[in-house]
């Protein structure tokens, strides 16, 4: 029997139409006019990706991305004990963690790395520029490096870094893919750039920085130089910048957006969550807290999920910068201190 004949033979419509009631299942099958088993086969061969924020904010960042077999951490800014405790609460195990990827050298992203890497003998993927600025000890055999734009396979996961604007030596964001499923980790970004936009347009889920409310920052008590450092293009993304990026560039298949790295003093979790919830377009908005881990979310892409086509410029789109170069900036430009105020 050919596919077409099978579709015609599938009894999806008549029994329900007589009573006027169409069950959700029948409506689903009716819509696509395919027999049910074909969906089961398609879903059976695709592996979901599990993601969680173990903590997000200037007091520590750690993001877990994994499948059924392996996982990575992006940054490890909590102590080893706290990281273990939070993973245990979520039913996650270090047995699956295969590597730590380091976005930049600020303390809130690297504090836990020396002990976690040593205890679990995990390779630490870090650029030479970031390592030079980080004073933490890692055993030489655990140091691994990465280059921007070059995917690194970790089992079935593939991790690709790209440079971002931030006041660090060699800062990078990451996308992690497993087959058709793509996850983005985009925090500590001074300004949206082409890289960020291009990658955001591919993501099924993303951790996106929404660091500060512009009014709260500008009317707040921080000294002028600190306000400039946060909002001056090499610091952090505001709620408005994150929302503009989200509204202009979210792909139709995005299912989850994690609001990340919220400032303790210049943001309000309820305010930013309401802001995004009101315009979420059905995408689940999750607040990545600075006090506790989020739940573990299951993300599943599909082979037909094509990234949105690139749009060079448009009056309807917020302005974006050219991407920063993929090489370490001069040493004196970097400021290794991450103030806990951010
Ligand atoms: Zn940070
Ligand atoms: Zn930072």
CA 237 to ligand 1 center in whole angstroms: 11
CA 305 to ligand 2 center in whole angstroms: 32
Q: What is the predicted pLDDT for the residue at 320?
A: 66
Among the bound ligands, name the one nearest to the CA of residue 74. 1
Among the bound ligands, name the one nearest to the CA of residue 58. 1
Among the bound ligands, name the one nearest to the CA of residue 334. 2
pLDDT per residue as tens digits for the range 259-295: 999 999 999 999 999 999 999 999 999 999 999 999 9
Decide if domain 49-333 falls under CATH 3.40.50.720: no
Check: CB of residue 129 under 8 Å from CB of residue 94.
Answer: no
Q: Which residue has the higher pLDDT, 241 or 3?
A: 241
Phi, psi at 153, each rounded to 5°: -80, 130
Q: Which residues lie closer than 8 Å to 264 by C-beta, 6 or more apart?
A: 57, 58, 59, 290, 341
CA 172 to ligand 2 center in whole angstroms: 10
Confidence of residue 334 (pLDDT cuts 50, 70, 90): very low
CA 126 to ligand 1 center in whole angstroms: 16
Mean pLDDT for the stretch of residues 117-125? 98
Q: What is the predicted pLDDT for the residue at 69?
A: 96
Mean pLDDT for all residues in the chain:
85
Q: What is the predicted pLDDT for the residue at 167?
A: 93
Q: Which residue has the higher pLDDT, 254 or 137?
A: 254
CA 294 to ligand 2 center in whole angstroms: 21
Res 223 pLDDT > 70 = yes
Q: What is the predicted pLDDT for the residue at 173?
A: 97
Name residues with Cβ closer than 5 Å to ligand 1, which is an ion: 108, 188
Both tokens of 90, joined, read 């979520």
CA 128 to ligand 2 center in whole angstroms: 17
CA 75 to ligand 1 center in whole angstroms: 10
- Round to whole Å and give the CA distance between 305 and 251: 9
Share of the chain above pLDDT 90, in %: 70
How many CB atoms lie under 10 A from the CB of residue 181? 26
C-alpha dihedral, 212 to 217 to 222 to 224, nearest 10°: 110
CA 187 to ligand 2 center in whole angstroms: 8
CA 190 to ligand 2 center in whole angstroms: 9
Q: What is the predicted pLDDT for the residue at 129?
A: 93
CA 315 to ligand 2 center in whole angstroms: 31
Q: What is the predicted pLDDT for the residue at 47?
A: 86
* CA nearest to 312, candidates 182, 197, 175: 197
Res 156 pLDDT > 90 = yes
Q: Which region among 53-67, 237-251, 325-339 has the lowest average model confidence (pLDDT)?
A: 325-339
- Round to whole Å and give the CA distance between 174 and 61: 14
State the pTM of this model. 0.82
Confidence of residue 22 (pLDDT cuts 50, 70, 90): very low
Q: What is the predicted pLDDT for the residue at 342?
A: 54
CA 104 to ligand 2 center in whole angstroms: 7
Among the bound ligands, name the one nearest to the CA of residue 261. 1
Check: CB of residue 173 under 8 Å from CB of residue 203.
Answer: no
Share of the chain above pLDDT 70, in %: 78
Mean pLDDT for the stretch of residues 201-224? 95
Output the DSSP codes for 254-279.
Answer: --EEEEE---SSS--HHHHHHHHHTT
CA 108 to ligand 1 center in whole angstroms: 5
């Amino acid at each position: 029997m050919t596919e077409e004949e099978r579709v015609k033979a599938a009894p999806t419509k008549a029994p329900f139409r007589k009573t006027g009631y169409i069950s959700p299942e029948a409506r689903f099958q009716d819509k696509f006019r395919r027999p049910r088993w074909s969906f089961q086969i398609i879903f059976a061969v695709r592996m979901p990706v599990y993601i969680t924020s173990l903590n997000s904010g200037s007091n520590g960042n750690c993001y877990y991305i994994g499948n059924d077999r392996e996982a990575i951490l992006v940054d490890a800014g909590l102590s080893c004990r706290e990281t273990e405790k939070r993973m245990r609460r979520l039913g996650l195990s270090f047995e699956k963690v295969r590597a730590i990827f380091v976005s930049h050298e600020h303390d809130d992203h690297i504090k836990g790395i020396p002990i976690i890497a040593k205890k679990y003998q995990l390779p630490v993927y870090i650029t030479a520029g970031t390592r030079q600025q980080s004073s933490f000890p890692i055993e030489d055999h655990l140091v691994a490096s990465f280059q921007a734009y070059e995917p690194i396979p970790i089992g079935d996961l593939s991790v690709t870094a790209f440079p971002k604007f931030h006041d660090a030596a060699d800062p990078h964001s990451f996308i992690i893919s497993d087959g058709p499923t793509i996850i983005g980790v985009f925090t500590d970004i001074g300004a949206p750039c082409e890289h960020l936009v291009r990658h955001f347009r591919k993501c099924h889920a993303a951790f996106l920085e929404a660091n500060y409310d512009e009014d709260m920052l500008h009317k707040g008590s921080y000294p002028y130089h600190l306000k400039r450092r946060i909002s001056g293009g090499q610091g952090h993304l505001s709620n408005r910048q994150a929302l503009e990026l989200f509204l202009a560039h979210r792909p139709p298949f995005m299912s989850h957006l994690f609001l990340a790295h919220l400032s303790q003093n210049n943001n309000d979790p309820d305010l930013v969550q309401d802001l995004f919830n009101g315009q979420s377009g059905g995408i689940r908005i999750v607040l990545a807290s600075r006090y506790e881990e989020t739940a573990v979310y299951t993300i599943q892409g599909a082979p037909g999920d094509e990234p949105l086509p690139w749009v060079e410029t448009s009056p309807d789109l917020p302005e974006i910068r050219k991407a920063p170069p993929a090489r370490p900036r001069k040493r004196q430009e970097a400021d290794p201190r991450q103030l806990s105020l951010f």
